[in-house]
Amino acid sequence: MDTEIKPNTSLSLTEEDGRQLLQATLADYVAFLHRQPAVCGSAEQQEALIKHVAQGHELIKQVAAERLKITRELDKQKHDWMEIEKQMTAPILAAMQPLKDAVEHYNREMLRIREHQQELAAQQVALTESGQTSWLTPQIAIVDKPKGVQMKWTYEIIDHNQIPNGYWTLDEAAIKADIAHGVREIPGVRIYQEAVTTFRK
């Protein structure tokens, strides 16, 4: 097989020469890999292919390391600007909160009244259909839904024991943790070994 290509330590994303060298090195290694036969019929071939793949991973790590030199500083600057933004907007949010609370209190009260009126209207319809109302029965006027209020379905669990099986969630993290700590039998779970190849030089 071809001789291996050693990663160059002068590669860079920030300097023009280093970036060109990085791109050339990556292109050379890709070309090198394309020349390698994707055939693994012996322990020697397996060792050589693993070595080539491991070198590719090293190059990928080197590119990531060069990128981190840039993005870590950008991330720090972004964090600093976000902190400044929070400091500037926090007083606005705090000042708005009592107004929001007042609107939400009003909305809840209006929705409570609206729900009560709807119940009375439903009772009135039932009485009318059974012939138990007269012209003296008052008409129920239902208030409009408050402006800006959208009704959204949601839920809360009131009894875990009554929840049907289809709504249970499998805790895969707990299973993996138990297996890592030596558990080999869990009812309803097949625990087995699978081959995972590590590509290291």
| Whether the predicted pLDDT of 15 surpasses 90 | no
Per-residue pLDDT tens digits for 49-87 = 999 999 999 999 989 998 998 899 999 999 999 999 999
| Whether the predicted pLDDT of 177 surpasses 50 | yes
- Which residue bears the tokens 């060069």? 66
Dist. CA 92–CA 103, nearest whole Å: 17
Handedness of CA 96, 102, 105, 106 (dihedral sign): negative
- Percentages of the chain per state (helix, strand, coil), in multiples of 5: 60, 0, 40
Q: Which residue has the higher pLDDT, 2 or 53?
A: 53
Binned at pLDDT 50, 70 and 90, residue 11 comes out as low
For residue 105, what are the contacts with CB-CB under 8 A and spacing of at least 6? none
For the chain, how many residues are written?
201
Q: What is the pLDDT of residue 60?
A: 93
| pTM of this prediction exceeds 0.85 | no
Average of per-residue pLDDT values in the chain: 88
Q: What is the pLDDT of residue 75?
A: 94
| Whether the predicted pLDDT of 5 surpasses 70 | no
Q: What is the pLDDT of residue 82?
A: 96
Dist. CA 104–CA 39, nearest whole Å: 68
Secondary structure element (H or E) that encloses residue 117, with its range: helix 43-129
Dist. CA 62–CA 16, nearest whole Å: 17
| Whether the predicted pLDDT of 167 surpasses 90 | no
Binned at pLDDT 50, 70 and 90, residue 8 comes out as low
Q: What is the pLDDT of residue 46?
A: 92
In the chain, % of residues over pLDDT 70? 93
Residue 201 identity = K
| Whether the predicted pLDDT of 1 surpasses 50 | no
Per-residue pLDDT tens digits for 115-137 = 999 998 888 888 888 877 777 77
